[in-house]
Amino acid sequence: MTDSRTQATTTVRRAGAAEQPFHYPLKREFVEPDWRRLPGFRDATRTEWESALWQRKHTIKSLKELKEALGRLLPDTLLAGIERDQKDRATMSLLVPPQMLNTMNLEDLWNDPVRRYMLPAYDDREPEWPSHPKAQRDSLHEADMWAVEGLTHRYPTKVLAEVLSTCPQYCGHCTRMDLVGNDVPQVEKHRFEVPQKTRYEQILDYLRRTPQVRDVVVSGGDVANLPIAVLENFVSQLMDVPNIKDIRLATKGLMGLPQHFLQDDVLKGLERLAKKAHERGVDLAVHTHVNHAQSLTPLVAKAVRRILDMGFRDVRNQGVLLRGVNNSAEALLELCFTLLDHAGIMPYYFYLCDMIPNAEHWRLAVHEAQGLQHDIMGYLPGFATPRLVCDVPFVGKRWINQVKEYDRDKGISYWTKNYRTGIEPDDPEALTRRYEYYDPIYTLPESGQAYWRAWRARS
């Protein structure tokens, strides 16, 4: 006689690791790529490579230096494309530390994700619509919202302090292309008018008399380009402002030039800040900007470890969604797992690339980002699942699914907000108005593209 209970037990399916669209564990090895594969740096010693001074001295600033560094590995077509781009399209000048160059796939530079945004070529750009007609230099109107020069007061309780306008590396898609970096043929940069010392005093003074603000992002540019004594002095004074409870230091240099954060004087300065933050009950964190898993190496992890060990609250990543760089669930998940498993960095945000001039080929449509948000859910711990956000002009960050209305044909999304920015104290419609954001035109259906062509003809 068959025992029905036994029968039931033997047919129960046990749960297990199912086949998934994204495969974990990661396949990529976490190693420092050998810099001796770069013809121009073949003779660099480990001591030189790990020296911030050496890295800065050998940072690529021109096509000539790029050619010297890459030699025969740089296809002539790519060199010509970058040259034409610098002349006709680029909004940022060339600036790539050897550390970043060494994370590129030298076998296929044309298609390398890091090359695509650090060394853009003319051929990469969108031919018909290199810029969206609504693109603007300061697309987020950060300077319009300066409470004092360099201090953007957009959100109710947090501010952005732009403490300098340079970085150790210049990213092609930089949202602050209006202010950051050197002039290029297409863009004459704006410059701070108030001398640095006075600017910092004005920022601190504003924060002392504005108790509504509790949170300061200290950015630029990149704080890795501020002498550590200057950074320490400014951040230390911020901590003396009783209402300031959160301070985040923004640096892509932590990834692009980790050697900077491994220097004794920098470590000592940061350590003193971490100690003071602890004593004052201030949360001090670092925010970095990594767009691809390739960029994370053991040297980056070492610098992060030192920062965390000295008592920083966290190191978080704010990447940018860029077509051809990281616009797949696989690329985003690989990056996030590498951040978590190897680098000790918390995935935090991915922003849509902002609507600056000549950025269309990088930008994603809102619905593409919504698809990516969907596709990355469930893999990472909830606290480390990054939010995909759209930084809507005159609004601020909105989660990508918070769109109020969306005209997919014309690629216009409509957003609302629940607070007034610093420039709307008397605007009765600030909280009821709908604010627009635009998808790249080449992603629209033919009818939507025709709308914009007609719009352009009328303008």
Where along the sequence are the contacts to ligand SF4 (CB under 6 A)?
167, 169-171, 174, 176, 180, 220-222, 252, 289
316: nearest Cα among 289, 353, 334: 289
Nearest approach, Cβ of residue 416 and ligand SF4 (Å)? 28
In Å, what is the CA distance from 32 to each residue of 103, 131, 258, 300, 302?
Answer: 8, 37, 12, 9, 11
Shorter beta-carbon distance to ligand SF4: residue 167 or 277: 167
Strands 314-321 and 346-352, by their bridges, are parallel
Helix residue ranges per DSSP H, 89-227? 98-101, 113-118, 196-208
Nearest approach, Cβ of residue 110 and ligand SF4 (Å)? 22
Shorter beta-carbon distance to ligand SF4: residue 176 or 398: 176
Shorter beta-carbon distance to ligand SF4: residue 51 or 166: 166
Q: What's the token pair of residue 414?
A: 């409509």
**Order of strands across the sheet that contains 158-162:** 146-148, 151-152, 158-162, 215-219, 246-250, 283-288, 314-321, 346-352, 387-392, 396-399
Nearest approach, Cβ of residue 203 and ligand SF4 (Å)? 18
Pairwise CA distance, residues 407 & 123, whole Å: 30
Shorter beta-carbon distance to ligand SF4: residue 178 or 337: 178
The full 3-state SS of 224-292, as one line of letters, equals: HHCCHHHHHHHHHHHHCCCCCCEEEEECCHHHHCHHHHHCHHHHHHHHHHHHHHHHHCCEEEEEECCCC
Taken in order 335, 336, 338, 342, the sign of the CA dihedral is positive
Shorter beta-carbon distance to ligand SF4: residue 175 or 370: 175
Nearest approach, Cβ of residue 285 and ligand SF4 (Å)? 17
Nearest approach, Cβ of residue 320 and ligand SF4 (Å)? 7
Shorter beta-carbon distance to ligand SF4: residue 220 or 396: 220
Rg (CA), the chain: 23
Pairwise CA distance, residues 175 & 318, whole Å: 13
Shorter beta-carbon distance to ligand SF4: residue 141 or 208: 141
Shorter beta-carbon distance to ligand SF4: residue 174 or 343: 174
**Which helix (H) or strand (E) covers residue 373, if one does?**
helix 366-376
In Å, what is the CA distance from 133 to each residue of 123, 128, 142?
Answer: 20, 11, 20
Nearest approach, Cβ of residue 136 and ligand SF4 (Å)? 16
Pairwise CA distance, residues 292 & 114, whole Å: 7
Nearest approach, Cβ of residue 108 and ligand SF4 (Å)? 23
Nearest approach, Cβ of residue 175 and ligand SF4 (Å)? 6
- Contact yes or no for 358/178 (Cβ under 8 A): no
Shorter beta-carbon distance to ligand SF4: residue 137 or 276: 137
Instruction: Encode burial over 33-70: b for 16+ CB neighbours within 10 A, e otherwise.
Output: bebeebebbeebeeebbbbbebbbebbbeebeebbbbb
Nearest approach, Cβ of residue 289 and ligand SF4 (Å)? 6
Pairwise CA distance, residues 321 & 353, whole Å: 6
Nearest approach, Cβ of residue 176 and ligand SF4 (Å)? 5
Residue 358 exposure: Cα atoms within 13 Å on the Cβ side = 23
Shorter beta-carbon distance to ligand SF4: residue 90 or 207: 90
Amino acid at site 371: G
Shorter beta-carbon distance to ligand SF4: residue 189 or 417: 189
Nearest approach, Cβ of residue 439 and ligand SF4 (Å)? 22
Shorter beta-carbon distance to ligand SF4: residue 125 or 214: 125
Nearest approach, Cβ of residue 170 and ligand SF4 (Å)? 5
User: 75: cis peptide before it, omega within 30°?
Assistant: no
Q: What's the token pair of residue 84?
A: 């034409």
